[in-house]
Structure 1
Amino acid sequence: MAFREWLRRRLGTWDIYALVHHDSQSTFYLMAGFILLAAGQYGLFVMLYSAALLIAVALAYGEMGSRFPETGGSYLHVKIGLGNLGAFTAVWLLAIDQIIMVGYGTLDASKYILAYSGLAIPPQALAIALSTALYILALVGIKESSRVGLAVFTAEAAVMTALLAAVFTKFGAPPPYFSWRGVEPQNLLYAFSLASRGYTGIDAIGQLAGEATAPLIQIPRAAAIAAAVGTTYGLLLSSAIMSALTPAEIKDPALVMLQLAQKVAPPMETPVFAVIVMIMLMAALTGYVAFARLIYILADEKLLPPHFAKLHRRFRTPYVGLTFTYVVSILFLLPGEIELLVDIYAVGSLINYLMIALSLGLVTKRGILHSAFRSPRIRGFPTTSIAATALTATGIAFTAIEKLPYLWFLALWLAFGYLLYAATRKR
């Protein structure tokens, strides 16, 4: 019995990670080409910075998540340390990134489909059709499945491992510059800004705590796996791109993985195409479900109007949040510019991660809650909180300096949220 229980818990941990993986890995597949082109020969160093940020955030989520054996994620994690308004701010910022994820997931999937098939139709038209299909699936009650997620993750691991083996066999080049020595960076600050947001999706770990069989154990383990697998994938794939492709060969940075397969191992073009499209569509579907879940939590806590907590009479799904996601995602898709989505995505998530790190430090210092996973302390503060606070603050600074003109959008979203918050609290 003990062995069966151990096995069940192990499977549960990997199921949780598989759902998180699609969020974080889809972001990498989308941004990797943009980051490397902007960083030039220094691409590996930029990716190492991104990996350090991912590890710090994942471990901070793991330590904080090990205190909460229930669904709530960022809302509960920030509320305990920074109060209701802080929790609302963190979740509201996180929520807009879920909508953007629907946009970039469907648009990048569309670009892959069109590049592979040779069809000549506007990518936004196909993306809107895909988003519509995912909206209907989410509305009738189809949500992200841990078993499907694990199957896709397994297929992706097999395909990418074979691709990496082919790259390093044919085009192996020594780090840190690989085949890009002497390639001057186009915009190193932009590269660091994107790399600060290149691995997102860790927040899904906290949201899944209530669905885990043993959350106080599985959440920290899933966070550790996310840190280890995510950084390994990112560094190996970045090294492969810099070994096999020259900057001139990257015609479209959003399709860099397809271009890599076409050059290195043409028979692998179809498997790589299929895996990337599945990852992108699952990330988009997760965006639908996650936004509706986050907004439902805020409405249930009486921080948003009760309409957001309404369930469909027949399907029993949060149709208001799903419909809101669909309408706003269409607005992001209409320009058909994936670079725009790259530039604005995950700024809210980065601020949310900073608030998680700060809350973890405050909660630990006060001795309010005990955790199943405990990192070393420095003057009473956990090292996970210190590292995550420093790195996320650095990432926010890079983004603010480089992308300040885009932050009006985030300010507008926050203002809209605070109006709803104030009206709800007053009522």
Structure 2
Amino acid sequence: MAARGWLRRRLNTWDIYALVHHDSQSTFYLMAGYILLSAGQYGFLVVLYSAALLASVALAYGEMGSRFPETGGSYLHVKVGLGSLSAFTAVWLLSIDQVIMVGYGTLDATKYILSYFGLNLPPQAVAIAMSTALYVLTLIGIRESSRVGLSVFLLEFAVLSTLLTLAFIKFGSPPPFFRWGNVSASNLLYALSLASRGYTGIDAIGQLAGEATAPLIQIPRAAMIAAIVGTSYGTLLSSAIMSALAPSEIGDPALVMLDLARKTAWWLVTPVFLVVVLIMLMAAVTGYVAFARLVYILAEEKLLPPLFSRVHKRFRTPYVGLTMTYIVSILFLLPGEIQLLVDIYAVGSLINYFMIALSLGLVTRRGIFYSAFRSPRIKGLPLTSILAMAFTATGLVFTFAEKWPYLWFLGLWLALGYLLYFTALRRQRTSGAGAEQI
């Protein structure tokens, strides 16, 4: 699937990872406080489970992505194993999380700004203003920049390394309970549900394959880096929080990074604030671009009406997908409740990840496609597929058990998607019948 105009870039391994990093890292910054407060003394163990899920999904994407040196990501990965309808379902579920990412990115950035400057403003009003500005910027042509992404990653690495080092020096205590050994879990199932969805963004690795200079090599490498860095960040940051902060010192779980910085060293507050806000806003930009990219690909495959593949005559950007992202993101922002976004985020992504892992297993068993990255085989199935299916299936059980009241929302989104899907198919059949008559 050749990428068109607005999709084309030439990326190396670190460019790809940098564009993926702020997606997954923003999710953990957002959810870490909620996970730890809910899990209590078992918080670190829950985070270890989350890290294992991240690593398994990243490596499955790396192995599957090494077979597809082209743009398409989850759509191509699921289609080859499970067919077009399953591929559409996986991508459509994934796409709603990109819109929610715009919502949580702008709203969490707003909360950090209001807290840092001591402002008393309606958070949803500020977040909507931010989303509007990002919509305009993406509409006129801005997108995720690999250079900016890498620069922010390096800045974040320097700031976070300093923060973690000082926190461990001043407050270090032994795992796995650290200083929370007597803290009861308030809702362990809720914590496991959040941890199952706490590292989304890995799917961007597959979407960027067509823009890599040597995708068969760079995609597996980027996936490996994502697995190593992501798990390290999550476990070390959780350890630092549980060592430095008592639960009573975490005022707003969404702002736990500021609480950690304030407790560790006053001069780290501003750098941490800047890094987190940058990460959140970059995640929001990625949400705009990723949703537009996903629906553009589906329209190019004639699984959505051609309206979704239109590009702006002047700016050459996919304005329909961007506008849809903006409108739906505003609906998520109106309540001004970030925990609502935490609760509904990434359920669709988790289903998509399971389908990727299943498709990888089926493709491998059939013996089709060359893979530049091969994991060990067990009865013909790649170890990456087995582990990713096991962890994502477990995550789905936790998520559905805890989040069943929100399943109606996913049902409505799927109903809309299938309506568009079958409308596009009917249009194809009508066009084909007309062509035959001519």
Structure-2-length-normalised TM-score: 0.95
Match of 1:5 in 2: none
How many matched pairs?
418
- 1:423 alignment partner AA: T
RMSD of aligned Cα (Å)? 0.9
Structure-2 separation of matches of 1:371 and 1:318: 32
Structure-1 separation of matches of 2:270 and 2:160: 12
Matches for 1:60-79 after TM superposition, within 5 Å? 60-79=60-79
Q: Report whether the alignment pairs 1:292 with 2:274.
A: no
- 2:352 alignment partner AA: N
- Deviations for 1:310-356, whole angstroms, at most 9, x for unmatched residues? 00010000000000000000000000000000000000000000000
Structure-1 separation of matches of 2:308 and 2:262: 46
Structure-2 separation of matches of 1:258 and 1:406: 30
- 2:67 alignment partner AA: R
Structure-2 separation of matches of 1:24 and 1:419: 31
How far is 1:278 from its partner? 0.1
Matches for 1:17-166 after TM superposition, within 5 Å? 17-166=17-166
Structure-2 separation of matches of 1:425 and 1:389: 31
- 2:242 alignment partner AA: M
How far is 1:423 from its partner? 1.0
- 1:83 alignment partner AA: G
Structure-1 separation of matches of 2:264 and 2:179: 14
How far is 1:368 from its partner? 1.0
Match of 2:194 in 1: 194
Match of 2:258 in 1: 258
Q: Report whether the alignment pairs 1:273 with 2:310.
A: no
How far is 1:227 from its partner? 0.2
Structure-1 separation of matches of 2:298 and 2:375: 30
Structure-1 separation of matches of 2:26 and 2:220: 22
How far is 1:170 from its partner? 0.6
Match of 2:312 in 1: 312
Structure-2 separation of matches of 1:184 and 1:380: 44
Structure-2 separation of matches of 1:196 and 1:72: 25
Match of 2:433 in 1: none
Structure-2 separation of matches of 1:239 and 1:407: 33
SS of residue paired to 2:12: helix
Structure-1 separation of matches of 2:23 and 2:382: 27
- Deviations for 1:89-121, whole angstroms, at most 9, x for unmatched residues? 010000000000000000000000000011110
- 1:81 alignment partner AA: G
Structure-2 separation of matches of 1:202 and 1:88: 18
Match of 1:4 in 2: none
Matches for 1:274-423 after TM superposition, within 5 Å? 274-423=274-423
- 1:103 alignment partner AA: G
Structure-1 separation of matches of 2:164 and 2:389: 33
How far is 1:12 from its partner? 1.2
Structure-2 separation of matches of 1:173 and 1:123: 36
- Deviations for 1:43-83, whole angstroms, at most 9, x for unmatched residues? 01000100110010000000000000001000000000000
- 2:234 alignment partner AA: G
- 1:44 alignment partner AA: F
How far is 1:176 from its partner? 0.6
Structure-2 separation of matches of 1:209 and 1:158: 28
Identity of aligned residues (%): 77
- Specify every segment of 5 or more residues in structure 1 that has no aligned partner in the other structure, as ranges: 1-10
How far is 1:263 from its partner? 1.0
How far is 1:137 from its partner? 0.6
Q: Runs of at least 4 residues of structure 1 off by over 2 A? A: none
How far is 1:370 from its partner? 1.4
